[in-house]
């Protein structure tokens, strides 16, 4: 069995997480075909090992080593299905790089995911946190997710509704480890309206001479904005937004607004979403750094591993940030990336 499955031992995971923290996988498997998935699960089960499915590693923190089997999802492949006059379905293997898929679709003349350019990670990880940026979320175009349900041992094709998407949330996020995503399907269109309303994007496009942007121009604008504000994980290790934007009650919001009339806020169907970056910034964290870890100097939501910090160093800093935001604003921030190999944030005081 081990010959058929090229399982490696004691593999360094530093190159497999965008925070670039040191961690070791007891066993490690590069999974290129979905047909081997059940075999890999059986291999781990026979040995009483936990399994961790890893995409681009851009939304997780290794708090320590992983004593089980890490399966790196490397199932590639992209093709078009159901091509009609205006619409087509793009099928992506879980291991496809998300940003390359955006460029591919956009350059092929299809709209729907151009605002999600330059988001790090893989196609298979995209539904887990329902990636979103500049007014668009993955769930706006996603039609189905192919996944193996480890609880029932069945292969499923889950519709968008069945995925129970929310802001940075999904069925997969709420049932960590249960579903292994191998493929996603997106419904894209040649003509649907572009989403240009997000403030940063609107301002950027207004500064360009071309007032009728196409999807490629929007993707390029998003790339330029992201490069200006967010650190490139290849150069400055990070895991994107470290906290979600919290949704607070109307009453809490009214109270906060009295003291902080300039606090950015976005009304929701239930409550008001406030900008975590602004709260953190107000507490003076933007640009903070100690010897190893810090906070990005252009986006306070992004924690950075400057020089050999561990997952524990990152979590300790995140804990201090969360504490100070709670003290100052009474708002408890929720961490966005997942934690593996140890405990999450230190408890609030």
Residues marked active site are found at: 168, 241, 336
Q: How far is the CB of 116 from ligand EPU (least distance, A)?
A: 9
Q: Which of 6, 166, 177, 264 binds ligand EPU (CB under 6 A)?
A: 264
CA–CA separation, 102 vs 218, rounded Å?
11
Q: How far is the CB of 161 from ligand EPU (least distance, A)?
A: 22
Which residue's CB is nearer to ligand EPU, number 66 or number 242? 242
Q: Which of 301, 314, 318, 335 binds ligand EPU (CB under 6 A)?
A: 301
Enter the DSSP assignment of 96. Answer: S
Q: Residue 49 burial (CB < 10 Å; 0-12/13-18/19+)?
A: middle
Decide: is 18 part of the binding site for ligand EPU (CB under 6 A): no
Q: Which of 60, 300, 304, 321 binds ligand EPU (CB under 6 A)?
A: 300
Contact status, residue 244 vs residue 333, Cβ threshold 8 Å = yes
Which residue's CB is nearer to ligand EPU, number 28 or number 134? 134
Contact status, residue 106 vs residue 219, Cβ threshold 8 Å = yes
Size of the site for ligand EPU (CB under 6 A): 19
Residue number of the CB closest to ligand EPU reads 240
For the beta carbon of residue 112, count every other beta carbon within 10 angstroms: 25
Q: Residue 229 pairs with which residues in a beta bridge?
A: none
Q: How far is the CB of 298 from ligand EPU (least distance, A)?
A: 7
CA–CA separation, 205 vs 75, rounded Å?
36
Which of the residues 170 through 229 are near ligand EPU (CB under 6 A)?
198, 200
Q: Who's near 234: CB < 8 A, 6+ residues apart?
A: none
CA–CA separation, 98 vs 123, rounded Å?
5
Closest CA to 95 of 114, 73, 127: 73
Contact status, residue 76 vs residue 123, Cβ threshold 8 Å = no
Q: Which of 233, 240, 246, 309 binds ligand EPU (CB under 6 A)?
A: 240
Decide: is 245 part of the binding site for ligand EPU (CB under 6 A): yes
* Binding site residues, ligand EPU, CB under 6 A: 133-134, 198, 200, 230, 240-241, 244-245, 264, 275, 277-278, 281, 286, 299-301, 336
């Amino acid at each position: 069995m081990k010959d058929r499955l090229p399982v490696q031992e004691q593999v360094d995971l530093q190159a497999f997480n965008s925070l670039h923290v040191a961690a070791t996988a007891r066993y490690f498997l590069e999974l290129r075909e979905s047909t081997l998935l059940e075999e890999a699960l059986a291999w781990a089960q026979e040995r009483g090992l936990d399994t961790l499915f890893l995409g681009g590693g851009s939304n997780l923190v290794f708090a320590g080593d992983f004593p089980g089997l890490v399966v790196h999802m490397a199932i590639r492949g992209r093709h078009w299905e159901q091509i009609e006059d205006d619409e087509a379905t793009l099928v992506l293997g879980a291991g496809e790089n998300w940003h390359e898929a955006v460029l591919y679709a956009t350059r092929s003349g299809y709209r729907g995911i151009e605002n999600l350019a330059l988001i790090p990670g893989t196609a298979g990880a995209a539904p887990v946190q329902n990636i979103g940026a500049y007014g668009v979320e993955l769930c706006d175009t996603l039609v189905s997710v192919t996944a193996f349900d480890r609880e029932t041992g069945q292969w499923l094709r889950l519709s968008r509704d069945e995925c129970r998407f929310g802001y940075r949330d999904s069925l997969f996020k709420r049932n960590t480890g249960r579903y292994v995503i191998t493929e996603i399907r997106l419904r894209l269109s040649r003509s649907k309206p572009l989403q240009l309303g997000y403030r940063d994007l609107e301002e950027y496009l207004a500064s360009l001479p071309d007032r009728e942007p196409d999807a490629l121009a929007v993707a390029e604008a998003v790339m330029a904005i992201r490069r200006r504000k967010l650190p490139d994980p290849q150069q400055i290790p990070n895991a994107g937004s470290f906290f979600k934007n919290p949704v607070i009650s109307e009453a809490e919001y009214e109270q906060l607004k009295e003291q902080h009339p300039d606090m950015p806020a976005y009304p929701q169907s239930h409550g008001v979403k406030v900008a975590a970056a602004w709260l953190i910034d107000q507490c003076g964290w933007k640009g903070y750094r100690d010897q190893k870890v810090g906070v990005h100097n252009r986006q306070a939501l992004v924690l950075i591993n400057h020089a050999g910090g561990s997952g524990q160093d990152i979590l300790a800093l995140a804990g201090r940030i969360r504490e100070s935001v709670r003290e100052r604003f009474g708002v408890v921030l929720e961490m966005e990336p997942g934690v593996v190999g140890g405990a999450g944030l230190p408890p609030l005081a």
